[in-house]
Structure 1
Amino acid sequence: MSFYTKKTWILLPLMVLLIMATLSLSIPAGKVYADSAKIGIQSEMGYQGKIKHDKWNPLKLTLTSDRDISGDIVVKIQSNYGNGYHTSYVQQVDLPKDTPKEVIIGIPGTVLNKDNNQILFYEGSFSKGKQTPFATGKDYVQASPYQGALMGVLSDDPDTMNFMNVLNGKGNSVNVFPLKPTSIPADAMLLNGLDVIVINNFSSDTLSEPQRKAITDWVNGGGTLILAGGAGYAKTAAPFADIAPVVANGTMTVNALPELEKLGGKPLKLDGPFTISTVTAVEDAQTGIKADGQPVFASHVYGQGSVQYAAYDLAMEPVSSWAGHPDAWASVLRNHLPMTGSQNGMYYNSLMDNLSYVLEYFPSLKMPSFTLLLWMLIIYAVIVAPLLYFILKKADKREWAWFLIPIIAVIASVSVYAVGSSDKTRELAHTINLIELNGQGDAVKSTASAFFTPRSGNYALEFPEHTYLKTGGSQNTFGGMRENNSFVRMGQESTTLELRDMSQWSLAKVWIEGQGTEEMGRLSLDLKLDDKGDLNGKITNDTINDLTEVALVVGGKAYKLGDINKGGTEAIPQDPKQIIKFVGGDLSGMLYPYSQNDTKQRERDVLSNYGYSRGMVGQDAYILGWSKDHLTNYTLKGSEVDSDQLNFWVQPVKMEWGLSGKVNIPYGFLSAEIAQVNAPMFGAYPHGVEMGQGSMIAEFPLISEGNVKYSELSIKGTKFNNNVTMEIWNAKKSEWEPVTDTNNVFTINNDPEQYIIGNRIRFMITAKDQTNFMMPELSVKGEATQ
């Protein structure tokens, strides 16, 4: 064969490849993906793009495909701690050809950007299917947690409640926006990011039954619902009659609203007859100010939340645009609106996140006995050195040491491993449950759990249906964080958590929440104050469990009641040794003192974290206890995971005064409630209040039962540092009056009624610079009248 012939055969394959490459360039790009569906995506995070930290927020995805396709939509979120840990929320979806399909997925509130999250679609399933890239739209979401209050409004007038925006210049941060009926989810957890829902002059029966149930469950879990409408109140409240604070029975007109005018602190002139609804308050409802004998406002506790009633159409002039309207509603919604400067929550770890390190106090996993290991080392040293040498020398077999010493070393190593891993051969869990009782028989349960993996590999854990899960990075044997992934899928019958690439002897942490409340009983209280202001009475355990180390916290004191079995009753102790005075002190450290053999570390840290997270102060009243029953269970391969459980029970205390004759309420029983804050930094903690330059307005709620004629009001804690001043609101004069008393007690015994508006006393604390102080306390005297 000639040289040219050989050259031709060599170049021929190269020429074919060149021709094929040239032809491929002429093929339209779309042809490359001829076998893949073209899917477009649009996303909307939260409500009007706003989400709340430490809440479950809806992510609405609208997907459109050019052909029929089924698969998994996956929202992958990277941990903010930079440890490479990812949690993916998975939902199966069927996409009909050219038909937009909406998918709503619950996402925990955190900072979201293109660098820490991604939306993926897998044809078939994420575990076995092929990833299909999106043809149009962004494959990530962007959002930052909103610190202020999110207030959604269902009303025929979209501008209803817009007057609340004025509060944005007064320390509160309020975002008011209209809700479309179609935007109300059928899942209460997806309303979790809303602080307040207002329904005003709106036909609520147009909502579906699942939507109405979702709103009711949301209130039960801690939401605030406002029902209003004046002449339209009946159509507003009809579907929520079971939880409303009043029963409507008609309407009437008034020509003035003097009590509302005092509450707002600004002149209010009505142009003519003004329509309000007439109602009858239900049992246990609290009524506020009145107009011609009819309540203008009323409230009713439902579960962990509250239902508020307003007698008028919130969009009706001239009240809607009245200058005092925002301040009046700031008072009505005190303690229901987050404060702008509050440090409790924004970009700080949530309560459950803060319990992450407590999960590492794993009772079932113990370090091997130091004494035992020391003896094993001594025995090994004795056998390998003098004893083995003596035996081999005696037998004249010293050369055997070359293989006997390695054998003994292997046996010793296996023995040490067996001792150290004796409790690490099976899957275990350490679970902490927070049981927040509402005093009516139900509770909101929040759970943090650590799952121990004895072997490396993948694990699929199953939880009850409607369970929402958030996961944290797994901790390996040596205390480091390991990069791995978890996948959460909410199904019709269960929620599945798939943990992938777990290392041997590691902890995977998961935070567990469910919809609404659970029936868990209550702690029944029968508390009375005698003529000297001393507390007497008893507490009955009507919960589902025996409780240990029960303590009543009220009036700045903690009364240690000890263990109370289910159905048992314990009297309030009078022995000073069983009463702890802790105002300004660390209650958790006093109840569970530090010790060398610290057996109460978990209890102390749980209580401490709970107090800081909930912004508790010394005047808060609640009762707490503990149990170790199994209240949260999950399964692995159909079998329940063995679990150590510690349950923290807590219930707010509401005094039933039952007053007759003389009234003498000492300091600490009537706690101040914060209405407004106008400061760049603000936080309420067990040790007191921290505030930047600015002001705080708070109110003392007075006795809600019966009628009391007050003869003396006394405020203790009025002597601050030179940077702080205090004023009290004179409702009769509609002006602030300085509190000039320098003896730390300000007493009013000359016409104290002039300082009372809506059965409350309002005061303001102003700071010239960053400062901290204890919240003032109120004592009252008077006489109960018929």
Structure 2
Amino acid sequence: MSAGVGFQSYFDPSVWVPVRVTVTNPEKTRFQGQLVYSVGQKYPYEGVLEWPVQVNPRRSTVLTIGVPGALLRHGGNLRLMEHGNTYASVHLLGISVEGSDVAGVVSDFPQAVQFLAGVSSANGTSELVAAYIRPQAIPSSVQLLQTLRYLYLDGAVAAELSSRQAEAIAAWVRSGGILILGGVQPNAGQLGVFSALSPVNGSIVLDGYGSQLASFVSSTPLHTALPLLYGSAKTNATVLVGTAKKALVAVRALDRGEVVYVGFNAASSALISWSGNALLWDTILHSLHSAILSAKPDLFGTNGALALMGAAEQFPQLHSPPLFIWEITFGLYTFLCGPVLYVILRRRRKNEWAWFVLPLISLVVAGSIYELGVIQRPNGILTQNVGLVDVVNAQLAQMIGMEALMSPQTRSYSVLTPKNTWSVALAEEATGYAEDGRVSFFAAHNLATFSHVRAWGGRFVYAVHEAHHFGQIDANLYAAGDTLAGNLTNDTNVDFSDAALIDRGQVIDLGSLKRGAIVQVDAMLNPKGNTRDVLSALASALQSASHGVGHALFNEVGTFIAAKSPFGDVLFVGWTHDEQTVFTPLAHTLPATPQWIVRQVLPVIPVVE
């Protein structure tokens, strides 16, 4: 058995990371077992992750599994097991690139990454990290592509990708990735789903010396002929090099991401040997204006697992009498059962009765308090789910959720999560590391189980789900000077108890918004308004953020929710108490009211006065 972590060993610790595993069966019988990754004592994660695996006699199989990047930071062993016996083991080791931009180059030749040598990251923090990726190693899940910021495809390798791989790449672009389509015979933008994504329609192949490229970066011309594929730019494309009818480099926005067309083979020797190659790519990357939010989900950092865990562990089902009732009870007990009762007995010359009456009253009070606790204690499994929904478009939304479970009795828990979901088990620090959590990944669903959890022991299932039927907020908004006007339609499948818009650091309260409802927007923004107190204004607009679990959730993730939106757009934030189809406990439960915050970037049409 062998395994490769991330993309050429590079991975982002804040997201789910692909691990490509090759299993060989040298025996004459079919192997049917599990791949098992032990989380170990890495608070708050616990238990094991497991994937079923089947290998025919004397054959090999390749699987792509997903492991949280936060766990891969600590390494760990992946074991191949059958009936409790370990047949093989491999240590998972990768290179963390937190804070750096990773560019994947999909090619059949490892040398193809050379064209990115010396190219700096567009965020200006470091040199771009280039990773060679074989076509068959592209994951078919948008979640497993999140380590990448850029992805380069040429026509030869684009033809080798499956439809599921191509669809995953398209969804990755829409969620904020930057796809670069290159090549000449053909260009990747002329194939399959990529032709619809491409900024141009490729047409004419000519041999030239790249004079337009040299002029674009003010560099010396190439010394060798370079095949060029000019295309006709689509109406929503921006041409960087060439003209609309003969575009050589063009770009178009696609939801939060961008697609770049380059009418040449980036890995050609003519370009790599050209002195202006690095400057060319620096200029192209810095010319992009990807509509990605300033804050992406940090799934395993401060905005992720720990934040949602802190909000979900508050169970509102645990009702307790108000503090003043306890104050009155103990006050009466202290003064009536002590000095007052003693004085009464003494006046009646029954001092010796105090030895019997006081203990008797203490027993009655203690028994009453215990009985009250028994009555208040729920008989069942308490559940609470909280989360975030990041809407990209009507067909794509990322749900980041936490399901908390607890019971006054020793119990076992089981929770199903649907297809296209990545799950991991968590436990409270106070309950220790019992290693009782197990997440099994199957084709149709995932199953999280916790065995024999002691009374009051909190357990959690943390999941990231790729939703395709959540819907979206349809916007028809116009901006003229400091005025924002228009309307919004709730085309999602949830009702919002509270909703608001954030425009240029100021909050517009929309009130409640039922599914299918239309709300009119007519707001005058203060050009000198205080944009530093966005969170306070947003908390005032979202009433669910003012108390209980909602208050805890907003305190934990408010900064992420109210992230600065791209210039010219506004940010919609809504609060829903509708149950999301992410967690299904397999037992009778006593659920609390769900708490989910929904976020979506909305376009605004500028009006020239």
TM range (shorter): 0.7 to 0.9
| CA drift at 1:461 | 1.3
Structure 2 partner of 1:327: 282
Q: Which amino acid aligns with 1:241?
A: S
Q: CA–CA distance in 1 between the matches of 2:410 and 2:508?
A: 48
Per the alignment, do residues 63 and 201 of structure 1 end up closer, same or farther by CA in structure 2, a change over 3 Å counting?
A: closer
Q: Which amino acid aligns with 1:281?
A: K
Matched, 1:351 2:294: no
Structure 1 partner of 2:54: 94
Matched, 1:558 2:519: no
Q: For each residue in 1:641-693, what CA deviation from the matched residue of structure 2 results, as whole angstroms up to 9, or x when unmatched?
A: 62422222222232323x6xxx57xxxxxxxxxxxxxxxxxxxxxxxxxxxxx
Q: CA–CA distance in 1 between the matches of 2:257 and 2:139?
A: 19
Per the alignment, do residues 251 and 575 of structure 1 end up closer, same or farther by CA in structure 2, a change over 3 Å counting?
A: closer
Per the alignment, do residues 272 and 207 of structure 1 end up closer, same or farther by CA in structure 2, a change over 3 Å counting?
A: closer
| CA drift at 1:522 | 1.9
Q: CA–CA distance in 2 between the matches of 1:376 and 1:626?
A: 39
Q: CA–CA distance in 1 between the matches of 2:252 and 2:138?
A: 23
Q: For each residue in 1:596-637, what CA deviation from the matched residue of structure 2 results, as whole angstroms up to 9, or x when unmatched?
A: x9536346425533158x676998742222222112452333
| CA drift at 1:347 | 9.1
Q: Which amino acid aligns with 2:217?
A: G
Tell whether the 8 Å contact from 2:425 to 2:438 is kept in structure 1 after alignment: no
Q: For each residue in 1:88-127, what CA deviation from the matched residue of structure 2 results, as whole angstroms up to 9, or x when unmatched?
A: 11122335555444443210102547x7633344432xxx
Matched, 1:455 2:406: no
Q: CA–CA distance in 1 between the matches of 2:290 and 2:68?
A: 23
Matched, 1:181 2:135: yes
Structure 2 partner of 1:73: 35
Decide which of 162, 179, 199 is 2:114's aligned counterpart: 162
Matched, 1:435 2:397: no
Q: CA–CA distance in 1 between the matches of 2:233 and 2:16?
A: 36
Structure 1 partner of 2:198: 244
Q: For each residue in 1:440-485, what CA deviation from the matched residue of structure 2 results, as whole angstroms up to 9, or x when unmatched?
A: 564222223322333223211112223211233325xxxx352222
Tell whether the 8 Å contact from 1:78 to 1:116 is kept in structure 2 after alignment: no
**Helix, strand or coil for the counterpart of 1:412?**
helix
Per the alignment, do residues 368 and 204 of structure 1 end up closer, same or farther by CA in structure 2, a change over 3 Å counting?
A: same
**Helix, strand or coil for the counterpart of 1:519?**
coil
Decide which of 74, 78, 83 is 1:119's aligned counterpart: 78
Q: Which amino acid aligns with 1:550?
A: A
Decide which of 492, 497, 510 is 2:448's aligned counterpart: 497
Decide which of 327, 330, 349 is 1:377's aligned counterpart: 330
TM-score normalised by structure 2 residue count: 0.82
Q: CA–CA distance in 2 between the matches of 1:580 and 1:378?
A: 55
Tell whether the 8 Å contact from 2:253 to 2:290 is kept in structure 1 after alignment: no
Structure 2 partner of 1:13: none
Tell whether the 8 Å contact from 2:135 to 2:157 is kept in structure 1 after alignment: no
Per the alignment, do residues 300 and 590 of structure 1 end up closer, same or farther by CA in structure 2, a change over 3 Å counting?
A: same
Q: Which amino acid aligns with 1:374?
A: E
Q: CA–CA distance in 2 between the matches of 1:439 and 1:408?
A: 62
Tell whether the 8 Å contact from 1:202 to 1:235 is kept in structure 2 after alignment: no
Q: For each residue in 1:123-163, what CA deviation from the matched residue of structure 2 results, as whole angstroms up to 9, or x when unmatched?
A: 32xxxxx33364xxx54322342232332223466544533
Structure 1 partner of 2:576: 627
Decide which of 513, 517, 523 is 2:474's aligned counterpart: 523
Per the alignment, do residues 490 and 541 of structure 1 end up closer, same or farther by CA in structure 2, a change over 3 Å counting?
A: same
Q: Which amino acid aligns with 1:573?
A: A
Q: CA–CA distance in 2 between the matches of 1:139 and 1:245?
A: 43
Structure 2 partner of 1:16: none
Q: CA–CA distance in 2 between the matches of 1:254 and 1:348?
A: 49
Specify the structure having the higher radius of gyration (Cα).
1
Per the alignment, do residues 285 and 643 of structure 1 end up closer, same or farther by CA in structure 2, a change over 3 Å counting?
A: farther
Tell whether the 8 Å contact from 2:477 to 2:603 is kept in structure 1 after alignment: no
Q: Which amino acid aligns with 2:77?
A: Q
Per the alignment, do residues 409 and 292 of structure 1 end up closer, same or farther by CA in structure 2, a change over 3 Å counting?
A: closer
Structure 2 partner of 1:582: 530
Per the alignment, do residues 570 and 235 of structure 1 end up closer, same or farther by CA in structure 2, a change over 3 Å counting?
A: closer
**Helix, strand or coil for the counterpart of 2:159?**
helix
**Helix, strand or coil for the counterpart of 2:593?**
strand
Q: Which amino acid aligns with 1:464?
A: P
Q: CA–CA distance in 1 between the matches of 2:470 and 2:299?
A: 31
Matched, 1:636 2:588: no
| CA drift at 1:407 | 4.7
| CA drift at 1:331 | 1.7
Q: Which amino acid aligns with 1:314?
A: A
**Helix, strand or coil for the counterpart of 1:312?**
coil
Per the alignment, do residues 223 and 550 of structure 1 end up closer, same or farther by CA in structure 2, a change over 3 Å counting?
A: same
Per the alignment, do residues 356 and 348 of structure 1 end up closer, same or farther by CA in structure 2, a change over 3 Å counting?
A: same
Aligned length: 592
Tell whether the 8 Å contact from 1:42 to 1:62 is kept in structure 2 after alignment: yes
Q: CA–CA distance in 2 between the matches of 1:481 and 1:155?
A: 48
| CA drift at 1:166 | 0.8
Structure 1 partner of 2:101: 149
Structure 2 partner of 1:783: none
Q: CA–CA distance in 2 between the matches of 1:186 and 1:256?
A: 36
Q: Which amino acid aligns with 1:104?
A: T
Per the alignment, do residues 592 and 527 of structure 1 end up closer, same or farther by CA in structure 2, a change over 3 Å counting?
A: same
Matched, 1:215 2:132: no
Q: CA–CA distance in 2 between the matches of 1:297 and 1:512?
A: 39
Structure 1 partner of 2:493: 544
Structure 1 partner of 2:364: 408
Matched, 1:484 2:400: no
Unaligned runs of 5+ in 2: none
Higher helix share: 2
**Helix, strand or coil for the counterpart of 2:47?**
strand
**Helix, strand or coil for the counterpart of 1:197?**
strand
Matched, 1:50 2:10: yes
Tell whether the 8 Å contact from 1:59 to 1:106 is kept in structure 2 after alignment: yes
Matched, 1:572 2:522: yes
Matched, 1:511 2:458: no
Q: CA–CA distance in 2 between the matches of 1:406 and 1:640?
A: 36
Q: Which amino acid aligns with 1:636?
A: P
Tell whether the 8 Å contact from 2:145 to 2:172 is kept in structure 1 after alignment: yes
Per the alignment, do residues 336 and 549 of structure 1 end up closer, same or farther by CA in structure 2, a change over 3 Å counting?
A: closer
| CA drift at 1:488 | 0.5
| CA drift at 1:171 | 3.7
Q: Which amino acid aligns with 2:420?
A: H
Structure 2 partner of 1:683: none
Per the alignment, do residues 506 and 100 of structure 1 end up closer, same or farther by CA in structure 2, a change over 3 Å counting?
A: same
Q: Which amino acid aligns with 2:15?
A: K
Of stretches 196-205 and 514-523 in structure 1, the one that deviates more from structure 2 is 514-523
Per the alignment, do residues 302 and 78 of structure 1 end up closer, same or farther by CA in structure 2, a change over 3 Å counting?
A: farther
Of stretches 47-56 and 397-406 in structure 1, the one that deviates more from structure 2 is 397-406
Matched, 1:140 2:107: no
Taking CA–CA contacts closer than 8 Å with sequence separation of 6 or more, which of the two structures ends up with the larger relative contact order? 2
| CA drift at 1:410 | 4.8
Per the alignment, do residues 403 and 625 of structure 1 end up closer, same or farther by CA in structure 2, a change over 3 Å counting?
A: closer
Decide which of 59, 65, 72 is 2:19's aligned counterpart: 59
Unaligned runs of 5+ in 1: 1-40, 125-129, 665-786
| CA drift at 1:228 | 1.9
**Helix, strand or coil for the counterpart of 1:438?**
strand
Q: CA–CA distance in 1 between the matches of 2:414 and 2:425?
A: 13
Per the alignment, do residues 620 and 236 of structure 1 end up closer, same or farther by CA in structure 2, a change over 3 Å counting?
A: closer
Tell whether the 8 Å contact from 1:561 to 1:572 is kept in structure 2 after alignment: no
**Helix, strand or coil for the counterpart of 2:598?**
strand
Q: CA–CA distance in 2 between the matches of 1:182 and 1:618?
A: 37
Q: CA–CA distance in 2 between the matches of 1:102 and 1:617?
A: 40
Q: CA–CA distance in 1 between the matches of 2:242 and 2:168?
A: 32
Tell whether the 8 Å contact from 1:166 to 1:326 is kept in structure 2 after alignment: no
Q: What CA RMSD, in Å, does the superposition of the two structures yield over aligned residues? A: 4.1
Tell whether the 8 Å contact from 1:445 to 1:518 is kept in structure 2 after alignment: no
**Helix, strand or coil for the counterpart of 1:543?**
coil
